[in-house]
Structure 1
Amino acid sequence: MDVAAESGSDEPGVLKEVDCYISPAMQKQILLLLYKNRENYHTLDNESIKEARIKANLDLLEFVVEDGRSSFVESVGKQIDTYLLRSNTVAFPRTLLGYFVNDECHFIPLKRDALVLDTCKEAAKVDKTNQNSDSSTSTPVGPAAFVSARLRTADAIALRGPMASRRKPADSDPDVIFLKQQVQAPWCPVHYKRFIPSEAFERRIPLLYPNDDMPELTRNRVTGPSQEEYVNNLLASVTPHVVDRSRTEPVKLPTLGELIQTIMIKAQLIRFDKLVICLRERFKDPHSVTNTSVLQYLPTFAVLLRGWWVAKSEILYPPNSFSEHSGTPNTLLIRARDYIVGFIL
């Protein structure tokens, strides 16, 4: 995709798009962080992170974030309030890693699950003046631990019924297994650093292509692809295309004679004025349907009988075929119907 710039601007005239390659080992080290129930522009760059840690398998991330009220909290002599952001692994569709360097946009397709950060819990607010008095009166609380209990054989027999046989040993309990997995995977400290060069905003503009957010483009009547169209064009090479292999034959409109034959087979008996009305409603050119044009084809498919046009027997019963109900040859049916029509005349 080449984006042309204005001749009077200082920006380069052509923006090159170059596909890059990233090793699988490096892809495993890239994390896609998302905020739950937050705006897209609200990133970690706007947060004051105190502590951070992550699991060794990169599937669980925790941030201790300040709430932004440090000046007010310190004035009243209380601890700085913090809250915990804990991640949850969520399957995420194919995304794109892009960077801008040397007047070129480099894009790398990524297949990576996202770590969705959500507020897990709030830290306890403790007053420093009352901290000593509270600690003397309250009993120390140890860390939470998982406890499993087993019933004795005599107690299990006393329960009777299926409850005794449904007891699960502690080793196969899914809660115990999950707890052991969390304990076995060690935590690793994380040093969160903000790397924002001075020209980051200018280099980020070609990646975002914010046509919809620039009112001067509307005033100058300059149109361009939207943000969604821009991203779809970038992902077009890696997006699977569904090919429709069904054949669509062109529809051939019937002629006036074929339309008269179809109406006479269905109606078998019709007035002339009613036939003309039906033809004008169904023919491709209603103005060409006149009494003269209809009479050119009508005697081929029908005969006039006491003011009614009756379909010919050869049209209703094609020769050299048989009746679909009784198996009688159509030649006999034609002779019988012609005899009845002649008797009416």
Structure 2
Amino acid sequence: MASGDDDDPIIQEIDVYLAKSLVEKLYLFQYPVRPASMSYNHATHLAARIKPKQQKVELEVAMDTLSPNYCRSKGEQIALNVDGTSSEDSNTYSTKMMDKQTFSSIQATTNTSRYAAAVFRKGELHLTPLQGILQMKPSFTYLDRADTKHREREAANEAGDSSQDEAEDDVKQITVRFSRPESEQARQRRIQSYEFLQKKQAEEPWAHLHYHGIKDSRSEHERQYLYCQAMDTTENTELVKTPSEYLSMLMPPLAEEKVVKPVGPSNVLSMAQLRTLPLGDQVKTLMKNVKVMPFANLMGLLASGTDSTAVLRCIQQVALLVQGNWVVKSDVLYPKNTCSSHSGVPAEVLCRGRDFVMWRFTQERTLMRKEVAAIIKLPPEDVKDFLEQMSVPRLNRGWDFLLPTDHDFVKKHPDVAQRQHMLWLGIQSKLEKVFSFSKDDFVPKKDAQMEPIHISGEQRLKAAKDNVREKQTALQREMDARKSKTSKPPSASGDANPLLQVKEEPVSDSEEPMDTSGSIANGTVNGYPNSPIMDPHNGHGSGHAPTPELQAFVRNTFLKHYVLSLSELKRLFNLHLASLPTGHAVYGHVTDRMLQDTILMSQCKQILLPFPPQSNASADEQKVFGLWESGETFDKHRQVLFEIFMKNFRARRNVIQTRLTQELGDAVTKTDVDRLLKECCTSLGGMWYLKGTVHS
């Protein structure tokens, strides 16, 4: 409250007390199958029991058999099926009619450390921590008992007169089997199995309870323990914690919660939990679940700002490059000491068969299932599993590789592609020995071949020399043309050696940060070496000018979002391209440089945010642009806001409102401020940030 924020005034102060009398005894019951207006508070409760260690509760509630909604004949039929015609004390329904219902509990959550029951009295709030939150649902175990009775009657009828057969001593052969030592993986599977959990639940005995109604005197007496009993002792001190300490008490760090988190099934992938793992484990988990993925998609699933070089190191440990895409390694899917769920084939044999399928897909895009099965000689179910993991069946065409060839990745990362190529050569030699085939037995289709990856050192050196020679020739011709057009004598440092004056650099799609001043210094324009000099008035330069369609897209996008980082604009542009019909190429080849020049030509400016040094935002995320002029009077409000953020990457609302009043006068209303913040900013922790510059 030291900031003087008028939007969040203190209305009332309430004393909070912690009641400990019912700690480890208080449970919250929920009835998800009944509306709140139809509670069981006034129903007759016949019995109650609990298993404290498992937090398992059962309640028996009487049914109103005199209700017009009760079907008497159906109730009698159910009782007959469950108990039969005998009259015993152990019968489930002693009245020969289904006159009661059992409710059984399941845990709504395993961690109740952040939940408490609260009562408010005379300006005081009393909190009691909850031991458990249980959902009570109807139990249908009586149906199991009815099935058991039915099977017993059938067995008795089929027995007949088999007494003579039972009297005879038949000699039977006995097979003795010795069980193998249980592995750690098998033990973990057994512990997590449904049968083991059921056995563990059955071992704990029931503790029988007495139920007291909501208006019973004993209930009223116990209800008083919800209030703190020692309010005048010295233990009740005032809370003296800083806001950050109090926040950490309310929301403990994730590391403290790892112990109590329930272990989910292995095939369920939570992105929130995934990003708490180390980068290598994240990549391994993603590849194990997805199995085939382009590198660009993998980067999109990881947290923004993740280093692509580190991801490349991790992906090569758990996947192999096939058709420019990454396919998870076989030993990741089939670890040692495991076997096929279909046929029981050991993991080592499965890995060899799957590696053969992957290697064949590096040679061509389509495989025939029969040809593969004839070589690897594995059961049809396992072969089908291999193919389904990385391909799709086509009618009368076999199995096509799942994804199109990613030539862009191979061009951008030739060193990785070369390393993977050498790795596949080693795998191929091993497969040839195991399956007794030659690579000449498989002639890949010409159109399915990827571009050659292996380039010798001599070829690289020759190509580099030819490239330099071509550039020198082109520069010399350009300088000769300039000499013929001008009468000025050549300068000592200019024409004597043109290669010392002009530095030729390759233009790539990945650009350096832009200088929004647009000045030309040290051979750069807008911060780019040898960039085309763009005239902001006519939009043309010595390079490729942006198309009108690209200018319209950028303009319309900023009129909708007002503030965008370069990373977010590229994402929106890619989504827009994906929505276009096939073959629609009106935008041409759009580079990062062209996109940024188009932004500056669309009445937008770069906002030079002073990001903190510890910020993990990528270079494209730190390039933030805002709509400077849209033709409306509200442009002045946005310009003032952008100037505020050029001094600090975050600001408080009262600071923004004060600055707007100073610049634009008292005509600035609360509605104007609300609109401005809604259009351009996002709130986090009481501070306001430009959109896209912070991730909550």
- Structures share a fold, TM > 0.5? no
Higher strand share: 1
Bigger Rg, which one: 1
TM (normalized to structure 1)?
0.41
Higher helix share: 2
TM (normalized to structure 2)?
0.23
